[in-house]
Amino acid sequence: MALEITDASFEEVVLKSDKPVLVDFWAAWCGPCRMVAPIVDEISNEYDGKAVVGKVDVDNNQEFAAKYGVRNIPTVLIFKNGEVVDKQVGAAPKKTYTDKIDAAL
């Protein structure tokens, strides 16, 4: 399962990670977000130990969504060494996300 990331834990979990981090910005009312959720959970299991995979509920955690200019959801950001290195806006196939993580490994 993907980690639940909050504004309070974002810096520690994402920005200070020594591994690449996939962050899914989502909301419960968003249909495409619900389509992406099982893919993100699968990736979390497959990349366990190699990358950090987490989700930010933008309704409850707006600070970092705003900081990174997330205007449409789902938006998936890939972080490496605390910096955004890739981005996917809108639902996409699993391979799109895994290719982005692989590029950051």
Q: What is the pLDDT of residues 18-66, one digit of tens each?
A: 999 999 999 999 999 999 999 999 999 999 999 999 999 999 999 999 9
Please report whether residue 33 resides in a domain: yes
Please report whether residue 75 resides in a domain: yes
| CATH number of domain containing 57 | 3.40.30.10
Q: What is the pLDDT of residues 58-95, one digit of tens each?
A: 999 999 999 999 999 999 999 999 999 999 999 999 99
Please report whether residue 95 resides in a domain: yes
Please report whether residue 84 resides in a domain: yes
Please report whether residue 105 resides in a domain: no
* Count of structural domains, the chain: 1
Rounded to 5 degrees, what are φ and ψ at 6? Answer: -115, 170
Please report whether residue 66 resides in a domain: yes
Can you list the pairs that 95-100 forms with residues at least 24 positions away whose Cβ atoms lie under 8 Å? 97/22, 97/39, 97/40, 97/43, 98/43, 98/46, 98/47, 100/22, 100/76
Q: Which domain holds residue 11?
A: 3-100
Q: CA angle 19-13-39, nearest 5°?
A: 70
pLDDT of residue 74: 98
**105 confidence band (pLDDT: 50, 70, 90):** very high
Give me the active site residues, please: 30, 33
Please report whether residue 30 resides in a domain: yes
Token pair belonging to 99: 């290719």
